Structure 1
Protein backbone atom coordinates (compact mmCIF):
# COMPACT_ATOMS: atom_id res chain seq x y z
CA UNK A 1 0.00 0.00 0.00
CA UNK A 2 1.18 3.52 -0.76
CA UNK A 3 -0.18 6.54 1.10
CA UNK A 4 0.09 9.87 -0.68
CA UNK A 5 -0.02 13.07 1.34
CA UNK A 6 -2.27 15.81 0.01
CA UNK A 7 0.67 18.23 -0.17
CA UNK A 8 1.87 16.41 -3.27
CA UNK A 9 0.01 16.85 -6.56
CA UNK A 10 -2.44 14.15 -7.47
CA UNK A 11 -0.55 13.79 -10.74
CA UNK A 12 2.06 11.84 -8.78
CA UNK A 13 -0.61 9.25 -8.12
CA UNK A 14 -1.45 9.10 -11.80
CA UNK A 15 2.19 8.35 -12.62
CA UNK A 16 2.38 5.71 -9.89
CA UNK A 17 -0.75 3.95 -11.13
CA UNK A 18 0.57 4.01 -14.68
CA UNK A 19 3.70 2.09 -13.67
CA UNK A 20 2.36 -0.03 -10.79
CA UNK A 21 -1.23 -0.84 -11.73
CA UNK A 22 -1.45 -3.82 -9.35
CA UNK A 23 -0.39 -1.91 -6.23
CA UNK A 24 -3.04 -0.64 -3.83
CA UNK A 25 -2.82 3.14 -3.73
CA UNK A 26 -4.62 5.16 -1.06
CA UNK A 27 -4.82 8.74 -2.28
CA UNK A 28 -5.39 10.91 0.75
CA UNK A 29 -3.91 13.15 3.41
CA UNK A 30 -1.86 10.92 5.75
CA UNK A 31 -2.86 13.18 8.64
CA UNK A 32 -6.50 12.25 8.13
CA UNK A 33 -6.19 8.46 7.97
CA UNK A 34 -6.41 6.34 11.08
CA UNK A 35 -3.70 3.80 11.81
CA UNK A 36 -6.39 1.12 12.12
CA UNK A 37 -7.27 1.70 8.47
CA UNK A 38 -3.76 0.65 7.42
CA UNK A 39 -3.02 -3.09 7.18
CA UNK A 40 -0.22 -4.45 9.37
CA UNK A 41 3.24 -4.49 7.81
CA UNK A 42 6.88 -5.29 8.68
CA UNK A 43 8.75 -2.44 6.97
CA UNK A 44 7.80 1.23 6.91
CA UNK A 45 9.42 3.25 4.14
CA UNK A 46 9.03 7.00 3.83
CA UNK A 47 10.60 10.09 2.38
CA UNK A 48 9.03 12.96 4.27
CA UNK A 49 9.16 16.32 2.41
CA UNK A 50 12.71 17.62 2.21
CA UNK A 51 12.11 21.33 1.54
CA UNK A 52 12.04 22.07 5.26
CA UNK A 53 15.62 20.78 5.69
CA UNK A 54 17.28 21.32 2.32
CA UNK A 55 19.88 24.03 1.76
CA UNK A 56 17.74 24.94 -1.26
CA UNK A 57 14.60 25.40 0.85
CA UNK A 58 13.51 27.65 3.68
CA UNK A 59 15.10 25.38 6.31
CA UNK A 60 12.34 25.93 8.86
CA UNK A 61 12.57 22.27 9.82
CA UNK A 62 9.88 21.10 12.23
CA UNK A 63 8.47 24.64 12.26
CA UNK A 64 7.35 23.97 8.68
CA UNK A 65 4.09 22.07 8.24
CA UNK A 66 5.79 19.80 5.71
CA UNK A 67 8.66 19.01 8.06
CA UNK A 68 6.18 17.97 10.72
CA UNK A 69 5.05 15.06 8.56
CA UNK A 70 7.90 13.11 10.14
CA UNK A 71 5.71 12.84 13.24
CA UNK A 72 2.99 11.23 11.14
CA UNK A 73 5.52 8.50 10.40
CA UNK A 74 6.05 8.12 14.13
CA UNK A 75 2.29 8.01 14.72
CA UNK A 76 1.94 5.11 12.30
CA UNK A 77 5.01 3.41 13.80
CA UNK A 78 3.49 3.68 17.28
CA UNK A 79 0.40 1.84 16.11
CA UNK A 80 1.97 -0.75 13.80
CA UNK A 81 5.38 -1.26 15.44
CA UNK A 82 7.12 -2.29 12.21
CA UNK A 83 10.31 -4.32 12.47
CA UNK A 84 12.17 -1.87 10.25
CA UNK A 85 11.82 1.81 9.31
CA UNK A 86 13.61 3.02 6.18
CA UNK A 87 13.76 6.81 5.65
CA UNK A 88 15.31 9.05 3.00
CA UNK A 89 15.89 12.80 3.03
CA UNK A 90 18.37 15.48 1.98
CA UNK A 91 22.01 15.41 3.06
CA UNK A 92 21.52 18.58 5.08
CA UNK A 93 19.17 16.73 7.41
CA UNK A 94 22.10 15.86 9.67
CA UNK A 95 23.36 19.47 9.77
CA UNK A 96 20.05 21.31 9.99
CA UNK A 97 19.72 23.58 13.03
CA UNK A 98 23.23 22.64 14.17
CA UNK A 99 22.32 18.97 14.30
CA UNK A 100 19.27 19.44 16.55
CA UNK A 101 16.82 18.23 13.91
CA UNK A 102 18.67 14.98 13.30
CA UNK A 103 19.10 14.46 17.04
CA UNK A 104 15.35 14.83 17.43
CA UNK A 105 14.73 12.24 14.71
CA UNK A 106 17.28 9.92 16.29
CA UNK A 107 15.73 10.34 19.72
CA UNK A 108 12.19 9.81 18.44
CA UNK A 109 13.27 6.49 16.95
CA UNK A 110 15.42 5.52 19.94
CA UNK A 111 12.59 6.28 22.38
CA UNK A 112 10.53 3.72 20.47
CA UNK A 113 13.27 1.11 20.98
CA UNK A 114 14.70 1.29 17.49
CA UNK A 115 18.41 0.81 16.80
CA UNK A 116 19.65 3.10 14.07
CA UNK A 117 22.06 3.09 11.16
CA UNK A 118 22.41 6.01 8.78
CA UNK A 119 24.42 6.88 5.69
CA UNK A 120 25.02 10.10 3.77
CA UNK A 121 25.70 8.98 0.22
CA UNK A 122 26.21 10.53 -3.20
CA UNK A 123 24.56 8.56 -6.00
CA UNK A 124 27.62 8.91 -8.24
CA UNK A 125 29.55 6.72 -5.81
CA UNK A 126 27.04 3.93 -6.42
CA UNK A 127 27.15 3.69 -10.20
CA UNK A 128 24.78 6.55 -11.09
CA UNK A 129 26.20 9.50 -13.09
CA UNK A 130 24.53 12.17 -10.98
CA UNK A 131 25.67 14.04 -7.90
CA UNK A 132 22.74 13.42 -5.58
CA UNK A 133 23.71 13.33 -1.92
CA UNK A 134 21.04 12.11 0.45
CA UNK A 135 20.67 10.85 4.02
CA UNK A 136 19.42 7.28 4.41
CA UNK A 137 18.21 6.06 7.81
CA UNK A 138 17.47 2.42 8.60
CA UNK A 139 16.06 1.66 12.06
CA UNK A 140 15.61 -1.86 13.47
CA UNK A 141 13.55 -3.15 16.38
CA UNK A 142 15.99 -6.01 16.76
CA UNK A 143 19.51 -5.17 17.96
CA UNK A 144 21.15 -8.16 16.27
CA UNK A 145 19.57 -7.22 12.93
CA UNK A 146 20.90 -3.69 13.28
CA UNK A 147 24.33 -4.92 14.31
CA UNK A 148 24.51 -7.20 11.30
CA UNK A 149 23.25 -4.66 8.78
CA UNK A 150 25.68 -3.01 6.40
CA UNK A 151 24.96 -0.35 3.83
CA UNK A 152 26.02 -1.35 0.31
CA UNK A 153 29.63 -0.79 -0.69
CA UNK A 154 30.47 2.04 -3.04
CA UNK A 155 30.80 1.10 -6.71
CA UNK A 156 33.08 2.49 -9.40
CA UNK A 157 31.27 4.68 -11.89
CA UNK A 158 31.16 2.81 -15.20
CA UNK A 159 28.62 4.96 -17.04
CA UNK A 160 28.62 8.69 -17.58
CA UNK A 161 26.02 11.13 -18.86
CA UNK A 162 26.26 10.23 -22.53
CA UNK A 163 26.39 6.51 -21.90
CA UNK A 164 22.78 7.07 -20.81
CA UNK A 165 21.66 9.93 -23.07
CA UNK A 166 21.96 9.07 -26.77
CA UNK A 167 22.96 12.21 -28.65
CA UNK A 168 22.57 10.53 -32.05
CA UNK A 169 18.79 10.31 -31.65
CA UNK A 170 16.87 13.49 -32.42
CA UNK A 171 14.47 14.62 -29.71
CA UNK A 172 11.15 16.31 -30.39
CA UNK A 173 11.60 19.77 -31.88
CA UNK A 174 10.12 21.53 -28.85
CA UNK A 175 13.13 20.52 -26.71
CA UNK A 176 15.59 22.44 -28.91
CA UNK A 177 16.48 26.06 -28.17
CA UNK A 178 15.64 28.34 -31.12
CA UNK A 179 18.89 29.54 -32.69
CA UNK A 180 17.67 33.14 -32.65
CA UNK A 181 16.92 33.06 -28.91
CA UNK A 182 19.02 34.72 -26.22
CA UNK A 183 19.20 31.41 -24.33
CA UNK A 184 20.67 29.67 -27.38
CA UNK A 185 23.26 32.37 -27.95
CA UNK A 186 24.41 32.30 -24.32
CA UNK A 187 24.51 28.53 -24.15
CA UNK A 188 26.27 28.18 -27.48
CA UNK A 189 29.13 30.26 -26.10
CA UNK A 190 29.13 28.46 -22.74
CA UNK A 191 29.28 24.93 -24.13
CA UNK A 192 33.03 24.42 -24.36
CA UNK A 193 32.92 20.69 -23.58
CA UNK A 194 30.19 18.75 -25.34
CA UNK A 195 30.67 15.80 -22.99
CA UNK A 196 29.23 17.77 -20.08
CA UNK A 197 25.71 18.87 -19.20
CA UNK A 198 24.78 22.51 -18.57
CA UNK A 199 22.01 24.59 -17.03
CA UNK A 200 21.08 28.17 -16.23
CA UNK A 201 21.35 28.95 -12.54
CA UNK A 202 21.17 31.93 -10.20
CA UNK A 203 24.93 32.32 -10.70
CA UNK A 204 25.02 32.10 -14.47
CA UNK A 205 25.51 28.97 -16.54
CA UNK A 206 26.50 25.89 -14.57
CA UNK A 207 28.63 23.14 -16.14
CA UNK A 208 28.99 19.58 -14.91
CA UNK A 209 32.32 17.88 -14.34
CA UNK A 210 33.74 14.46 -15.21
CA UNK A 211 30.66 13.46 -17.19
CA UNK A 212 28.54 13.42 -14.02
CA UNK A 213 25.29 15.36 -13.88
CA UNK A 214 24.63 17.89 -11.15
CA UNK A 215 21.63 17.19 -8.93
CA UNK A 216 18.32 17.15 -10.77
CA UNK A 217 15.99 19.49 -8.88
CA UNK A 218 12.23 19.75 -8.55
CA UNK A 219 12.40 23.38 -9.69
CA UNK A 220 12.79 22.04 -13.24
CA UNK A 221 9.02 21.82 -13.18
CA UNK A 222 8.54 25.38 -11.94
CA UNK A 223 11.08 27.21 -14.10
CA UNK A 224 11.57 25.58 -17.46
CA UNK A 225 14.90 27.40 -17.91
CA UNK A 226 16.32 25.30 -15.06
CA UNK A 227 16.05 22.05 -17.02
CA UNK A 228 19.59 20.82 -17.86
CA UNK A 229 20.84 21.40 -21.39
CA UNK A 230 23.06 19.38 -23.73
CA UNK A 231 24.43 19.71 -27.24
CA UNK A 232 23.52 16.74 -29.39
CA UNK A 233 24.03 15.96 -33.09
CA UNK A 234 21.10 18.18 -34.04
CA UNK A 235 21.40 21.27 -31.88
CA UNK A 236 21.26 22.56 -28.33
CA UNK A 237 18.36 21.30 -26.26
CA UNK A 238 16.98 20.57 -22.84
CA UNK A 239 17.09 16.98 -21.70
CA UNK A 240 13.76 15.18 -21.81
CA UNK A 241 11.79 13.88 -18.80
CA UNK A 242 12.66 10.34 -19.88
CA UNK A 243 16.37 11.26 -19.86
CA UNK A 244 15.92 12.71 -16.37
CA UNK A 245 14.47 9.37 -15.29
CA UNK A 246 17.46 7.59 -16.84
CA UNK A 247 19.84 9.83 -14.86
CA UNK A 248 17.94 8.79 -11.72
CA UNK A 249 18.48 5.12 -12.60
CA UNK A 250 14.92 4.25 -13.56
CA UNK A 251 14.43 1.33 -15.95
CA UNK A 252 13.45 2.14 -19.53
CA UNK A 253 10.05 0.57 -18.93
CA UNK A 254 9.12 3.36 -16.48
CA UNK A 255 7.23 6.17 -18.17
CA UNK A 256 4.81 9.01 -17.58
CA UNK A 257 1.09 8.99 -18.36
CA UNK A 258 -0.55 11.89 -20.17
CA UNK A 259 0.29 14.68 -17.70
CA UNK A 260 1.74 18.19 -18.14
CA UNK A 261 5.46 18.20 -18.90
CA UNK A 262 6.08 20.55 -15.96
CA UNK A 263 4.79 17.87 -13.63
CA UNK A 264 7.03 15.29 -15.30
CA UNK A 265 10.10 17.40 -14.60
CA UNK A 266 9.00 18.16 -11.05
CA UNK A 267 8.47 14.48 -10.32
CA UNK A 268 11.91 13.67 -11.77
CA UNK A 269 13.51 16.15 -9.39
CA UNK A 270 11.55 14.90 -6.39
CA UNK A 271 12.29 11.21 -6.82
CA UNK A 272 15.17 9.05 -5.57
CA UNK A 273 18.22 7.45 -7.13
CA UNK A 274 16.61 4.09 -7.78
CA UNK A 275 19.67 1.76 -7.91
CA UNK A 276 21.01 3.08 -4.60
CA UNK A 277 17.67 2.74 -2.80
CA UNK A 278 17.25 -0.71 -4.33
CA UNK A 279 20.71 -1.74 -3.08
CA UNK A 280 19.88 -0.60 0.45
CA UNK A 281 16.56 -2.44 0.29
CA UNK A 282 18.37 -5.63 -0.72
CA UNK A 283 20.71 -5.27 2.23
CA UNK A 284 17.69 -4.87 4.50
CA UNK A 285 16.06 -7.97 3.03
CA UNK A 286 19.17 -9.97 3.89
CA UNK A 287 18.63 -9.33 7.61
Structure 2
Protein backbone atom coordinates (compact mmCIF):
# COMPACT_ATOMS: atom_id res chain seq x y z
CA UNK A 1 0.00 0.00 0.00
CA UNK A 2 1.31 3.43 -0.95
CA UNK A 3 1.87 5.83 1.95
CA UNK A 4 -0.93 8.33 2.47
CA UNK A 5 0.87 11.32 3.95
CA UNK A 6 -0.95 12.83 6.89
CA UNK A 7 -3.56 10.09 7.12
CA UNK A 8 -4.08 8.32 10.45
CA UNK A 9 -2.11 5.08 10.51
CA UNK A 10 -4.26 2.05 11.31
CA UNK A 11 -3.13 -1.30 12.68
CA UNK A 12 -5.70 -4.06 12.26
CA UNK A 13 -6.02 -7.13 14.50
CA UNK A 14 -8.36 -10.10 14.03
CA UNK A 15 -9.00 -8.47 10.66
CA UNK A 16 -11.06 -11.18 8.97
CA UNK A 17 -11.77 -10.34 5.36
CA UNK A 18 -11.53 -6.62 6.13
CA UNK A 19 -15.03 -5.22 6.61
CA UNK A 20 -14.02 -2.75 9.30
CA UNK A 21 -10.80 -1.91 7.48
CA UNK A 22 -12.68 -1.14 4.28
CA UNK A 23 -14.82 1.45 6.06
CA UNK A 24 -11.72 3.09 7.53
CA UNK A 25 -9.90 3.00 4.21
CA UNK A 26 -12.87 4.70 2.55
CA UNK A 27 -12.66 7.37 5.26
CA UNK A 28 -9.02 8.07 4.36
CA UNK A 29 -7.03 6.01 6.87
CA UNK A 30 -3.76 4.31 5.93
CA UNK A 31 -3.73 0.65 6.94
CA UNK A 32 -0.15 -0.28 7.78
CA UNK A 33 -0.45 -3.81 9.16
CA UNK A 34 -3.13 -6.49 9.53
CA UNK A 35 -3.41 -9.97 10.97
CA UNK A 36 -5.82 -12.88 10.88
CA UNK A 37 -5.37 -16.61 11.41
CA UNK A 38 -7.82 -17.74 8.67
CA UNK A 39 -6.11 -18.53 5.39
CA UNK A 40 -9.07 -17.74 3.15
CA UNK A 41 -9.92 -14.50 4.94
CA UNK A 42 -6.26 -13.57 4.53
CA UNK A 43 -6.44 -14.25 0.80
CA UNK A 44 -9.56 -12.12 0.49
CA UNK A 45 -7.91 -9.34 2.47
CA UNK A 46 -4.72 -9.40 0.39
CA UNK A 47 -6.70 -9.34 -2.85
CA UNK A 48 -8.67 -6.26 -1.84
CA UNK A 49 -6.17 -4.31 0.28
CA UNK A 50 -2.58 -5.32 -0.44
CA UNK A 51 0.35 -7.23 0.98
CA UNK A 52 0.28 -5.88 4.56
CA UNK A 53 -1.83 -8.85 5.74
CA UNK A 54 0.07 -11.30 7.95
CA UNK A 55 -1.75 -14.65 8.14
CA UNK A 56 -1.23 -16.67 11.31
CA UNK A 57 -2.23 -16.90 14.94
CA UNK A 58 -1.83 -13.70 16.92
CA UNK A 59 -0.36 -15.86 19.67
CA UNK A 60 2.72 -16.24 17.45
CA UNK A 61 3.10 -12.54 16.63
CA UNK A 62 5.87 -10.58 18.35
CA UNK A 63 3.73 -7.71 19.58
CA UNK A 64 6.80 -5.72 20.60
CA UNK A 65 7.65 -5.29 16.92
CA UNK A 66 4.33 -3.95 15.66
CA UNK A 67 4.56 -0.79 13.54
CA UNK A 68 3.68 2.63 14.91
CA UNK A 69 -0.01 3.42 14.51
CA UNK A 70 -2.51 6.09 15.49
CA UNK A 71 -5.35 3.62 15.89
CA UNK A 72 -5.77 -0.12 16.46
CA UNK A 73 -8.99 -1.82 15.39
CA UNK A 74 -10.26 -5.37 15.43
CA UNK A 75 -12.88 -7.86 16.47
CA UNK A 76 -11.37 -10.41 18.81
CA UNK A 77 -12.99 -13.87 18.48
CA UNK A 78 -16.58 -13.77 19.54
CA UNK A 79 -17.76 -17.38 19.47
CA UNK A 80 -17.35 -17.72 23.22
CA UNK A 81 -19.40 -14.58 23.83
CA UNK A 82 -22.17 -15.27 21.29
CA UNK A 83 -25.82 -15.27 22.35
CA UNK A 84 -26.49 -18.36 20.16
CA UNK A 85 -23.63 -20.59 21.23
CA UNK A 86 -22.62 -22.29 24.45
CA UNK A 87 -20.59 -19.58 26.09
CA UNK A 88 -17.44 -19.97 28.07
CA UNK A 89 -16.40 -16.33 27.77
CA UNK A 90 -13.23 -15.23 29.51
CA UNK A 91 -12.70 -18.67 31.02
CA UNK A 92 -11.83 -20.19 27.63
CA UNK A 93 -8.69 -20.03 25.53
CA UNK A 94 -10.53 -18.29 22.68
CA UNK A 95 -12.15 -15.87 25.09
CA UNK A 96 -8.74 -14.92 26.40
CA UNK A 97 -7.47 -13.94 22.96
CA UNK A 98 -8.65 -10.42 23.78
CA UNK A 99 -5.53 -10.15 25.98
CA UNK A 100 -3.41 -10.00 22.82
CA UNK A 101 -5.41 -6.96 21.74
CA UNK A 102 -4.71 -5.42 25.16
CA UNK A 103 -1.00 -6.22 24.80
CA UNK A 104 -0.88 -4.64 21.33
CA UNK A 105 -2.46 -1.44 22.68
CA UNK A 106 0.07 -1.47 25.52
CA UNK A 107 3.00 -1.76 23.11
CA UNK A 108 1.85 0.65 20.37
CA UNK A 109 0.06 3.25 22.54
CA UNK A 110 -2.29 4.44 19.77
CA UNK A 111 -4.41 7.52 20.32
CA UNK A 112 -7.55 5.44 19.81
CA UNK A 113 -8.52 1.79 19.68
CA UNK A 114 -11.79 0.20 18.63
CA UNK A 115 -12.68 -3.38 19.57
CA UNK A 116 -15.81 -4.98 18.15
CA UNK A 117 -17.75 -7.95 19.48
CA UNK A 118 -21.17 -9.57 19.68
CA UNK A 119 -24.00 -8.45 21.92
CA UNK A 120 -23.45 -11.46 24.15
CA UNK A 121 -20.19 -9.97 25.38
CA UNK A 122 -22.19 -7.67 27.65
CA UNK A 123 -23.72 -10.56 29.59
CA UNK A 124 -21.02 -13.26 29.26
CA UNK A 125 -19.93 -14.75 32.58
CA UNK A 126 -22.75 -12.83 34.29
CA UNK A 127 -21.22 -9.53 33.25
CA UNK A 128 -17.72 -10.38 34.44
CA UNK A 129 -16.29 -10.64 30.90
CA UNK A 130 -16.96 -7.04 29.87
CA UNK A 131 -15.98 -5.85 33.34
CA UNK A 132 -12.58 -7.51 33.18
CA UNK A 133 -11.96 -6.52 29.57
CA UNK A 134 -12.82 -2.89 30.34
CA UNK A 135 -10.59 -2.88 33.42
CA UNK A 136 -7.66 -4.25 31.41
CA UNK A 137 -7.97 -1.54 28.75
CA UNK A 138 -8.60 1.26 31.25
CA UNK A 139 -5.49 0.26 33.20
CA UNK A 140 -3.43 1.21 30.15
CA UNK A 141 -4.56 4.83 30.45
CA UNK A 142 -7.57 4.90 28.12
CA UNK A 143 -11.01 6.43 28.58
CA UNK A 144 -13.59 3.90 27.40
CA UNK A 145 -16.98 4.09 25.75
CA UNK A 146 -18.75 0.72 25.64
CA UNK A 147 -21.99 0.67 23.69
CA UNK A 148 -24.30 -1.65 21.80
CA UNK A 149 -24.92 -0.41 18.25
CA UNK A 150 -27.65 -1.35 15.80
CA UNK A 151 -25.82 -0.93 12.51
CA UNK A 152 -29.10 -0.48 10.63
CA UNK A 153 -29.14 2.99 12.21
CA UNK A 154 -25.94 3.77 10.29
CA UNK A 155 -27.09 2.80 6.81
CA UNK A 156 -26.66 -0.98 6.80
CA UNK A 157 -29.47 -3.05 5.28
CA UNK A 158 -29.34 -5.40 8.25
CA UNK A 159 -30.56 -5.33 11.85
CA UNK A 160 -27.12 -6.19 13.19
CA UNK A 161 -26.33 -5.44 16.82
CA UNK A 162 -22.70 -5.34 17.87
CA UNK A 163 -20.72 -3.94 20.78
CA UNK A 164 -18.00 -1.38 20.15
CA UNK A 165 -15.41 -0.69 22.84
CA UNK A 166 -13.82 2.63 21.93
CA UNK A 167 -10.81 3.73 23.91
CA UNK A 168 -9.20 7.18 23.72
CA UNK A 169 -5.78 7.68 25.29
CA UNK A 170 -6.16 9.91 28.32
CA UNK A 171 -3.75 12.59 27.08
CA UNK A 172 -5.68 13.10 23.82
CA UNK A 173 -8.05 16.04 24.06
CA UNK A 174 -10.92 14.29 22.35
CA UNK A 175 -14.06 12.90 23.94
CA UNK A 176 -15.71 10.06 22.07
CA UNK A 177 -19.47 9.96 21.86
CA UNK A 178 -21.19 7.56 19.44
CA UNK A 179 -22.06 9.15 16.09
CA UNK A 180 -25.61 10.35 15.61
CA UNK A 181 -27.63 7.69 13.77
CA UNK A 182 -28.18 8.40 10.09
CA UNK A 183 -31.30 6.22 9.80
CA UNK A 184 -34.30 5.16 11.89
CA UNK A 185 -37.23 2.77 11.52
CA UNK A 186 -38.84 5.10 9.01
CA UNK A 187 -35.76 5.40 6.83
CA UNK A 188 -33.83 2.13 7.19
CA UNK A 189 -32.01 0.93 4.08
CA UNK A 190 -34.06 -2.10 3.08
CA UNK A 191 -32.99 -5.50 1.80
CA UNK A 192 -34.97 -4.88 -1.37
CA UNK A 193 -32.99 -1.71 -2.04
CA UNK A 194 -29.71 -3.43 -1.18
CA UNK A 195 -30.30 -6.32 -3.59
CA UNK A 196 -31.49 -4.24 -6.51
CA UNK A 197 -29.60 -5.31 -9.65
CA UNK A 198 -27.46 -7.85 -7.78
CA UNK A 199 -28.15 -10.55 -10.34
CA UNK A 200 -25.83 -8.78 -12.79
CA UNK A 201 -22.79 -9.19 -10.51
CA UNK A 202 -20.58 -12.16 -11.41
CA UNK A 203 -18.23 -12.53 -8.44
CA UNK A 204 -19.39 -14.61 -5.46
CA UNK A 205 -22.91 -14.84 -6.82
CA UNK A 206 -23.23 -18.62 -7.18
CA UNK A 207 -26.50 -20.23 -6.17
CA UNK A 208 -26.33 -23.09 -3.70
CA UNK A 209 -27.88 -26.42 -4.56
CA UNK A 210 -30.78 -27.23 -2.26
CA UNK A 211 -33.02 -30.25 -2.04
CA UNK A 212 -36.47 -30.12 -3.67
CA UNK A 213 -37.92 -30.68 -0.18
CA UNK A 214 -36.21 -27.53 1.09
CA UNK A 215 -37.56 -25.53 -1.85
CA UNK A 216 -41.06 -26.79 -1.10
CA UNK A 217 -40.62 -25.84 2.54
CA UNK A 218 -39.54 -22.31 1.64
CA UNK A 219 -42.58 -21.92 -0.62
CA UNK A 220 -44.73 -22.37 2.49
CA UNK A 221 -43.05 -19.43 4.24
CA UNK A 222 -44.26 -15.92 3.34
CA UNK A 223 -41.85 -13.06 2.76
CA UNK A 224 -40.38 -11.82 6.03
CA UNK A 225 -41.39 -14.93 8.02
CA UNK A 226 -39.53 -17.97 9.33
CA UNK A 227 -40.13 -21.65 10.15
CA UNK A 228 -42.89 -20.75 12.59
CA UNK A 229 -45.16 -19.76 9.69
CA UNK A 230 -45.55 -23.45 8.77
CA UNK A 231 -48.37 -25.39 10.42
CA UNK A 232 -46.82 -27.66 13.06
CA UNK A 233 -48.92 -30.52 11.70
CA UNK A 234 -47.54 -30.10 8.18
CA UNK A 235 -45.13 -32.89 7.12
CA UNK A 236 -42.50 -30.28 6.15
CA UNK A 237 -42.61 -28.45 9.47
CA UNK A 238 -39.26 -28.09 11.19
CA UNK A 239 -38.70 -26.98 14.75
CA UNK A 240 -36.32 -24.06 15.09
CA UNK A 241 -34.50 -22.89 18.17
CA UNK A 242 -33.72 -19.40 16.87
CA UNK A 243 -35.52 -16.93 14.62
CA UNK A 244 -32.88 -17.33 11.89
CA UNK A 245 -34.23 -20.76 10.90
CA UNK A 246 -35.61 -20.54 7.37
CA UNK A 247 -36.01 -16.78 7.77
CA UNK A 248 -36.92 -15.09 4.48
CA UNK A 249 -36.10 -11.46 3.82
CA UNK A 250 -38.76 -8.78 3.78
CA UNK A 251 -37.91 -6.52 0.85
CA UNK A 252 -39.34 -3.51 2.70
CA UNK A 253 -37.16 -3.95 5.80
CA UNK A 254 -33.51 -4.54 6.64
CA UNK A 255 -32.58 -8.20 6.92
CA UNK A 256 -32.18 -9.87 10.27
CA UNK A 257 -28.62 -10.62 11.36
CA UNK A 258 -26.63 -12.58 8.78
CA UNK A 259 -24.67 -15.21 10.70
CA UNK A 260 -21.40 -16.91 9.85
CA UNK A 261 -21.97 -20.52 10.84
CA UNK A 262 -24.76 -23.03 11.09
CA UNK A 263 -26.18 -25.58 8.72
CA UNK A 264 -29.09 -25.51 6.34
CA UNK A 265 -31.94 -23.46 7.68
CA UNK A 266 -29.73 -20.60 8.88
CA UNK A 267 -28.37 -19.40 5.54
CA UNK A 268 -30.74 -16.48 5.02
CA UNK A 269 -33.38 -16.77 2.29
CA UNK A 270 -34.54 -14.61 -0.57
CA UNK A 271 -37.79 -12.66 -0.23
CA UNK A 272 -39.12 -13.68 -3.65
CA UNK A 273 -37.34 -16.83 -4.81
CA UNK A 274 -37.45 -19.97 -2.60
CA UNK A 275 -33.70 -20.29 -2.18
CA UNK A 276 -30.77 -19.32 0.05
CA UNK A 277 -29.09 -15.98 -0.49
CA UNK A 278 -25.96 -15.93 -2.59
CA UNK A 279 -22.80 -14.63 -0.98
CA UNK A 280 -22.95 -11.51 -3.13
CA UNK A 281 -26.43 -10.86 -1.81
CA UNK A 282 -25.13 -11.33 1.73
CA UNK A 283 -22.28 -8.94 0.97
CA UNK A 284 -24.77 -6.36 -0.32
CA UNK A 285 -26.63 -6.58 3.02
CA UNK A 286 -23.35 -5.60 4.74
CA UNK A 287 -22.57 -2.78 2.32
CA UNK A 288 -19.61 -4.31 0.49
CA UNK A 289 -19.12 -2.86 -2.99
CA UNK A 290 -19.49 -5.28 -5.87
CA UNK A 291 -15.80 -5.05 -6.78
CA UNK A 292 -14.84 -6.47 -3.38
CA UNK A 293 -14.13 -10.10 -4.27
CA UNK A 294 -14.03 -12.88 -1.68
CA UNK A 295 -11.72 -15.91 -1.88
CA UNK A 296 -12.64 -19.47 -0.90
CA UNK A 297 -15.55 -21.87 -1.17
CA UNK A 298 -19.17 -20.78 -0.79
CA UNK A 299 -19.05 -21.94 2.85
CA UNK A 300 -15.76 -20.14 3.54
CA UNK A 301 -16.99 -16.90 1.98
CA UNK A 302 -20.25 -17.08 3.89
CA UNK A 303 -18.21 -17.40 7.09
CA UNK A 304 -16.03 -14.41 6.19
CA UNK A 305 -19.00 -12.18 5.46
CA UNK A 306 -20.98 -13.30 8.51
CA UNK A 307 -18.04 -12.63 10.83
CA UNK A 308 -17.31 -9.18 9.45
CA UNK A 309 -18.17 -5.61 10.38
CA UNK A 310 -20.38 -3.84 7.82
CA UNK A 311 -18.10 -1.38 6.00
CA UNK A 312 -20.89 1.20 5.73
CA UNK A 313 -21.20 1.49 9.52
CA UNK A 314 -17.43 1.32 10.02
CA UNK A 315 -17.00 4.31 7.74
CA UNK A 316 -19.46 6.38 9.79
CA UNK A 317 -17.46 5.67 12.96
CA UNK A 318 -14.14 6.23 11.16
CA UNK A 319 -15.17 9.67 9.94
CA UNK A 320 -16.63 10.54 13.34
CA UNK A 321 -13.33 10.01 15.17
CA UNK A 322 -11.06 11.78 12.67
CA UNK A 323 -10.77 14.87 14.95
CA UNK A 324 -8.99 12.69 17.54
CA UNK A 325 -5.93 12.51 15.31
CA UNK A 326 -5.48 16.26 15.06
CA UNK A 327 -6.43 16.93 18.69
CA UNK A 328 -3.80 18.26 21.10
CA UNK A 329 -2.10 15.77 23.39
CA UNK A 330 -1.35 16.76 26.96
CA UNK A 331 0.47 14.98 29.73
CA UNK A 332 -0.14 11.25 30.04
CA UNK A 333 0.36 9.04 33.06
CA UNK A 334 2.87 6.25 33.03
CA UNK A 335 1.48 2.75 32.75
CA UNK A 336 3.18 -0.02 34.65
Which TM bucket (shorter chain)? 0.7 to 0.9
CA distance in structure 2 between the aligned counterparts of 1:186 and 1:75, rounded to whole angstroms: 49
Tell me whether 1:247 sits opposite 2:247 in the alignment.
Answer: no
Per the alignment, residue 220 of structure 2 pairs with 189
1:229-252 per-residue CA deviation (whole Å, 9 max, x = no partner) reads 1154xx422211111111011122
In structure 1, list runs of 5 or more residues that go unmatched: none
Cα separation, partners in 2 of 1:115 and 1:243, compared to 1, 3 Å: same
Report the CA distance between 1:269 and its aligned residue. 0.6
Instruction: Pick one of 192, 195, 208 that aligns with 1:165.
Output: 195
Cα separation, partners in 2 of 1:31 and 1:176, compared to 1, 3 Å: closer
- Higher mean displacement: 129-138 or 23-32: 23-32
Equivalent pairs counted in the alignment come to 273
Structure 1 runs of 4+ with >3 Å offset: 143-146, 166-178, 196-201, 203-210
Per the alignment, residue 33 of structure 1 pairs with 61
Report the CA distance between 1:32 and its aligned residue. 1.4
Matches within 5 A, 1:106-185: 106-142=134-170, 145-147=173-175, 149-156=176-183, 157-166=187-196, 169=199, 174-175=207-208, 177=210, 181-185=212-216
Whether contact under 8 Å (2:144, 2:168) holds in the other structure is: yes
RMSD of equivalent CA atoms: 2.5
Secondary structure, counterpart of 1:218 in structure 2 = coil
Matches within 5 A, 1:64-103: 64-103=92-131
Cα separation, partners in 2 of 1:173 and 1:10, compared to 1, 3 Å: closer
Cα separation, partners in 2 of 1:73 and 1:173, compared to 1, 3 Å: closer
Report the CA distance between 1:217 and its aligned residue. 0.5
1:30-70 per-residue CA deviation (whole Å, 9 max, x = no partner) reads 11121232112121112100111111122111112111111
Cα separation, partners in 2 of 1:201 and 1:253, compared to 1, 3 Å: farther
CA distance in structure 2 between the aligned counterparts of 1:173 and 1:30, rounded to whole angstroms: 33
Per the alignment, residue 206 of structure 1 pairs with 247
Secondary structure, counterpart of 2:288 in structure 1 = coil
Whether contact under 8 Å (1:218, 1:265) holds in the other structure is: yes
Per the alignment, residue 228 of structure 1 pairs with 268
Per the alignment, residue 281 of structure 1 pairs with 318
Task: With the length of structure 2 as denominator, give the TM-score of the two structures.
Answer: 0.74
Higher relative contact order (CA 8 A, sep 6+): 2
CA distance in structure 2 between the aligned counterparts of 1:164 and 1:64, rounded to whole angstroms: 38
Secondary structure, counterpart of 1:134 in structure 2 = strand
Per the alignment, residue 44 of structure 2 pairs with 15
Per the alignment, residue 25 of structure 2 pairs with none
